[in-house]
Amino acid sequence: MSFDMSQSSRNDTLFTQLFSDDEDLDASPEMDGQDSDTGGDENSNGWMDYIGEDDDEEMGEDAAADQTDSDTGYEDNEDSTRLPQPPEVPGAQSTPQSTTQRSTGKPSKTCKLVIDILEYIRYQKRTTLANFLKEFSWGERECTKDCECHGRIIRYRTEFFRNKDFPVLFDRWCKPPRSKASRRSRPLGGRGTIIPAAEKLVRDRLKRELKKIDPLFRSADMKLTRRELTSISLPDLVEQLQTLAPTLWSLLSWLCGDEEKRRSRNPTMRNLLMVSIFLYSRSQYCGKLQKLFAIYFKFKGLTAKGCDTMHALGIVMSAKWTTNAVETLSDEAMDELRRKIEDYPSINAHDNVHVPFRVFSQRLDNRAENGHGTAATVYVKQDAQKLPPSTHRELQQQRAAGMANPIDTADILRLAWEGWPRIERHMIDYVLRVLLDSREFDMKSYPHKKDSAFARPEPVNEVPCGPDHTVLQYLLGSMDTKEQSYDDNDKVVSEILKQLGITTADVARLKELGEEKLMFWAGDQLTVDRLRGLWRFRCQDLNGFDRMDWMVIVFGWLHYQMAFGKSLHRQYLGTEAGFGLKHAFEVLRRKGLDNVSTQGPFHDNFEHALYDIMDARIRTLWLVLTGATSLADLRARAPEELATLAARIVHEYASMWAMDEEQMQKDNTDEVRRQQIMFNRDVLLYIVLDLAIKHGDIGLMEDILPNVLLRFVGGRNSKYTIESLELLQSLHREWPEGVRTFVRRHCWIINTTGKRDGHTPVDRGMEAAIKDIKVTHRPQGPHIDWEYLKKLHPTIPVIKAISEHIEQQFGTWTRYKRHTSSHDQAGILLLQQAYLAGEVFSSRPGRQISLQADRASDFVNQGIPKLPTTIGRWVLARTFPRSSSQIWTHYEQAAEAMDVDN
């Protein structure tokens, strides 16, 4: 059907009033190419905007014509307002009259216009309004092809769809208006046809958007590696969804509730999860987030049944997939490690681990037992330079020369004397910080808080920090071998090399390791002692690999600190009646610190107690030296004066000079005061060492080394006496410059956070890995054995990285990460009052320590005369001839025999 639109001007006026506003249409001849005054282009608002721009493509060629065609020569006749009453059509029914008219008054002008147009369409043109709108809306081909009427149709259609009231039509057709006072049911209107049509439009729109975002969630090619899994950025994914699927995103956001009612509940991550579930339901290959969440929840304690339940909801992968993923993660982690150690230097460490195996059905061949094995880790230093192959030969030559030229007593005392001024500067800084950080002083409101007198001392030799200097930690598969005897450690080393891809069948790799490469090995005192024993026992083997020439052994500084703390505990424990450690433990109400323990949290608890005790002592000294009644009174002092007072506290109450001055009193010596000075000196040295480790000041750590050696000698700690001597001998006699620098910068401390105070000893990192093995990621189910643990444990660093990544993405990582001050403020005040009441720092000549148990020996001064004898015994035990041959015949023959068998 087509309409003859070239009627009289009154017909044109009729259509003008129906489909346009009251403004002159001729004001803009090219209506379809420009925005009109009635609201912009066709799809700029309302329902057409909801349908979206993609629907413009489906309107055919006529839509393109709307952008270029215009009507030239069409004129409106504004004098005609309505058509005359049309004549009756033979056989047509009369116009139905409403039987429920609310008024019989004169009809309005608008009402007359509507009746005229409807009757004109029905009786003169013999069609219906529905048919007319159908043809008007690109229905008949004649209405869309190029003809003399085409421009006029475009003009009216454009104005109709651009009319600002166009979206209102749909609302009224679906929900006809009625009076609020009406008790009649609302007319049905066009809901029966418009709502299904709208639903189809929305479905088509969402289908196109889902197709666009499908590649974002595809995971078929995703590898289960730390880099791939932690590269998924949820905020970036949300941004892409908002760009590619705006309709879907807006619908989900609206369904989550009004923004005002949601308050602080942001629906962004919920929307992302729903979209992920939609796509995973449509295709199992769209499971990128499901894989990530499955690994996360499994190692957060989700059971297999819980995993399958969440899989049924589409949130995670199945329990079967998650179990298989463990093996895949393990293989990927080990492959990545083998590639890394070829490109970057690394440090190996291993330690014993105890794993209890649970049994749910006991039998003779299935009984509960405590497994004793060995865990190992590898630290990859991406910021370190690889040592050249010539370093291997230089090390062997310098080892031989250094063995004939051991370090002596004079060298150690000189190193201790030269390093003490640098140590003392950091002691003074700590004393000053105790005052500035106290609540009474209130540094934030102190008027001179930025004065240069408060600047921290320059570090002696500080390692760099930041994201580029973080270490990568890899766990190896745990081994069912105890780390006790030399033979056990030999098996452990062989197994570690095998997991790293170095086997006896690869003779080329063995030669490379025995003649060109070096491996750095760290551990506690037992580990280091056993490895050094193997290195000594194999001194006459045929080649560098068998002699372990490639191994550089370094002790861990955590266990060195533990030995230092144990020595302090033994020296200053005393009784409750004295002013030693036991008295402080009683005042602070610290339980479990009377007896030294190498297991559990004893060391950390003891260290926290030392900090609190020292803070109480320093606060007391500030009051004693200045005569103030409160630390708040010191706010009136100038910064330079406070810095000078801090130096006086160290010199007069925590130094060897102050002890010697007190000792010179002979019969009038104040034994209590002298012992308190010695306590302050030794504990401050421990605190400075701990802070140097945390802040990465390796130069200060090296300065402290000879001073602690004297303590170990005087305190009869033979094991760490040997370790200290071995390290000093290696640093000053046996290691070439490249090895010395690498050990200092990379083998003592590591940094996993990149922060300045984020450094930690290498062996503490090993202990943290053991905690993950035994506690955090301990498998709970049946059928757990060493074979399974060997597969599971290499995945732990990946699992930790995934956990931290997800928690950071969701913002949950802040929980349990923020802590208040660890210092016991109330306990410190009580202890401070006890020291003031006991006048322990006041000079009272002739004062004696009443109980022998409260007398503390001076381990440092006692160690000086014993040092030459100790060094002599140590030199005798480590001096032996060492072969330098490189004979590989037996390895080559074994490899040939293996090839023949294969």
pLDDT tens for residues 70-118? 333 333 333 333 434 444 434 344 444 444 445 556 778 888 888 888 8
Reported confidence tier of residue 185, pLDDT bands at 50, 70, 90: confident
Q: For residues 167 and 210, state if they share a domain.
A: no
Assess whether pLDDT exceeds 80 at residue 174.
yes
Dump the DSSP string for 810-842: HTGGGTTT-----S-HHHHHHHHHHHHHHTTTS
Dump the DSSP string for 180-208: TT--SPPP-TTHHHHHHHHHHHHHHHHHH
The 3-class secondary structure across 218-276, one letter per residue, is: CCCCCCCCHHHHHCCCHHHHHHHHHHHCHHHHHHHHHHCCCHHHHCCCCCHHHHHHHHH
Q: Which range, of 449-453, 660-664, 800-804, 858-862, averages the lowest pLDDT?
A: 660-664
Residues 177-196, mean pLDDT to the nearest whole number: 82
> What backbone phi and psi angles, to 5 degrees, belong to 462?
-100, 130
Q: For residues 297 and 416, state if they share a domain.
A: no
Q: For residues 301 and 422, state if they share a domain.
A: no
Q: For residues 133 and 204, state if they share a domain.
A: no
Q: For residues 115 and 207, state if they share a domain.
A: no
- The angle that helices 889-901 and 507-515 make with each other, rounded to 10 degrees, is 160
Reported confidence tier of residue 141, pLDDT bands at 50, 70, 90: low
Question: d(Cα 372, Cα 386) in Å, to the nearest integer?
Answer: 35
- Residue 208: C-alpha distances to residues 39, 45, 239, 271, 750 (Å): 27, 21, 18, 18, 51
Give the per-residue pLDDT at 8.
Answer: 40
Residues 170-191, mean pLDDT to the nearest whole number: 82
Residues 145-168, mean pLDDT to the nearest whole number: 79
Q: Residue 271 in contact with residue 202, Cβ under 8 Å?
A: no
In a domain? residue 311? yes
Give the per-residue pLDDT at 802.
Answer: 92
Give the per-residue pLDDT at 301.
Answer: 87
Instruction: Choose the final residue of a domain: 174, 203, 231.
Output: 174
Give the per-residue pLDDT at 409.
Answer: 97
Query: What is the three-class DSSP state of 618?
Result: helix
Give the per-residue pLDDT at 533.
Answer: 96
Q: Which residue has the tokens 């147009």?
A: 117
Q: Which residues of 546-567 are buried (b: 16+ CB within 10 A; e: fewer)?
A: bbbbbbbbbbbbbbbbbbbbbb
pLDDT tens for residues 264-273? 567 899 999 9
In a domain? residue 741? yes
In a domain? residue 16? yes
Q: For residues 170 and 220, state if they share a domain.
A: no
Q: Which of 514, 508, 518 is closest to 384 using CA atoms?
A: 518
Give the per-residue pLDDT at 823.
Answer: 78
Instruction: Choose the final residue of a domain: 283, 317, 351.
Output: 317
Residues 731-738, mean pLDDT to the nearest whole number: 97
Instruction: Indicate the residue type of 726.
Output: E
Q: Residue 449 in contact with residue 762, Cβ under 8 Å?
A: no
Residues 715-727, mean pLDDT to the nearest whole number: 97
Q: For residues 161 and 284, state if they share a domain.
A: no
Assess whether pLDDT exceeds 50 at residue 520.
yes
Q: For residues 660 and 705, state if they share a domain.
A: yes
Q: Residue 205 in contact with residue 245, Cβ under 8 Å?
A: no
Give the per-residue pLDDT at 724.
Answer: 98
In a domain? residue 377? no
Q: Residue 705 in contact with residue 728, Cβ under 8 Å?
A: yes
Residue 885 CB-density burial (10 A; 0-12 exposed, 13-18 middle, 19+ buried): exposed
Domain that holds residue 84: 9-89+106-174
Assess whether pLDDT exceeds 90 at residue 315.
yes
Residue 196 tokens read as 């299904």
Q: For residues 653 and 767, state if they share a domain.
A: yes
Q: Which residue has the higher pLDDT, 549 or 597?
A: 549
Give the per-residue pLDDT at 432.
Answer: 98
Question: d(Cα 831, Cα 610) in Å, to the nearest integer?
Answer: 12
Q: Which residue has the higher pLDDT, 405 or 149?
A: 405
Instruction: Indicate the residue type of 384.
Output: A
Give the per-residue pLDDT at 143.
Answer: 62
| 117-131, 223-237, 660-674, 756-770: which is most confident | 756-770
- Residue 480: C-alpha distances to residues 284, 379, 531, 669, 784 (Å): 39, 22, 18, 59, 13
Residues 386-400, mean pLDDT to the nearest whole number: 96
- Measured between alpha carbons, how far apart are the two ends of the chain, in Å? 87
Q: For residues 239 and 122, state if they share a domain.
A: no
Query: What is the three-class DSSP state of 356?
Result: strand
In a domain? residue 664? yes
Q: Residue 432 in contact with residue 643, Cβ under 8 Å?
A: yes
Give the per-residue pLDDT at 176.
Answer: 86
Whether the model pTM is above 0.85:
no
Give the per-residue pLDDT at 79.
Answer: 39
Q: For residues 565 and 628, state if they share a domain.
A: yes
Give the per-residue pLDDT at 603.
Answer: 95
Residue 875 tokens read as 């030199």
* Secondary structure letter of residue 67 according to DSSP: T
Q: Residue 594 in contact with residue 582, Cβ under 8 Å?
A: yes
Assess whether pLDDT exceeds 90 at residue 222.
no
Over pLDDT 90: what percentage of the chain?
64
Q: Residue 175 in contact with residue 186, Cβ under 8 Å?
A: yes
Long-range contact set of residues 105-109: C-beta below 8 Å, sequence gap at least 24: 109/81
Reported confidence tier of residue 57, pLDDT bands at 50, 70, 90: very low
In a domain? residue 375? no
347 forms beta bridges with 379, 520
Q: For residues 240 and 131, state if they share a domain.
A: no
Q: Which helix (H) or strand (E) holds 751?
A: strand 749-751
Give the per-residue pLDDT at 542.
Answer: 94
Q: Which range, of 387-391, 426-430, 598-602, 732-736, averages the lowest pLDDT?
A: 598-602
What average pLDDT is seen over the chain? 85
Assess whether pLDDT exceeds 50 at residue 803.
yes
Q: Which helix (H) or strand (E) holds 372?
A: strand 369-380
In a domain? residue 686? yes
- Residue 359: C-alpha distances to residues 299, 325, 364 (Å): 21, 24, 12
- Residue 726: C-alpha distances to residues 157, 405, 722 (Å): 94, 13, 6
Residue 8 tokens read as 């009289």
Q: Which helix (H) or strand (E) holds 350?
A: strand 346-357
Question: d(Cα 859, Cα 689) in Å, to the nearest integer?
Answer: 18
Q: Which residues of 815-843 are buried (b: 16+ CB within 10 A; e: fewer)?
A: eeeeeeeebbeebbeebbebbbeeebbee
- Residue 12: C-alpha distances to residues 83, 116, 155, 429 (Å): 11, 14, 12, 94
Question: d(Cα 269, Cα 281) in Å, to the nearest integer?
Answer: 18
Assess whether pLDDT exceeds 80 at residue 443.
yes
Give the per-residue pLDDT at 886.
Answer: 95
pLDDT tens for residues 472-496? 999 999 999 988 899 999 999 999 9
In a domain? residue 878? no
Question: d(Cα 544, Cα 539) in Å, to the nearest integer?
Answer: 9
Q: Residue 374 in contact with residue 351, Cβ under 8 Å?
A: yes
Residue 450 CB-density burial (10 A; 0-12 exposed, 13-18 middle, 19+ buried): exposed
Residues 655-661, mean pLDDT to the nearest whole number: 90
For the chain, the domain total comes to 3
pLDDT tens for residues 738-786? 999 999 999 999 999 999 999 999 999 999 999 999 988 888 777 788 8
Q: Which of 762, 850, 273 is closest to 556 using CA atoms?
A: 762
Reported confidence tier of residue 43, pLDDT bands at 50, 70, 90: very low
Q: Which residues of 477-512 are buried (b: 16+ CB within 10 A; e: fewer)?
A: bbbebbbeeeebbbbbbebbbebbebebeebebbbb
Q: Which range, of 64-68, 371-375, 511-515, 641-645, averages the lowest pLDDT?
A: 64-68
Assess whether pLDDT exceeds 50 at residue 15.
no
* Secondary structure letter of residue 444 according to DSSP: G
Query: What is the three-class DSSP state of 410?
Result: helix
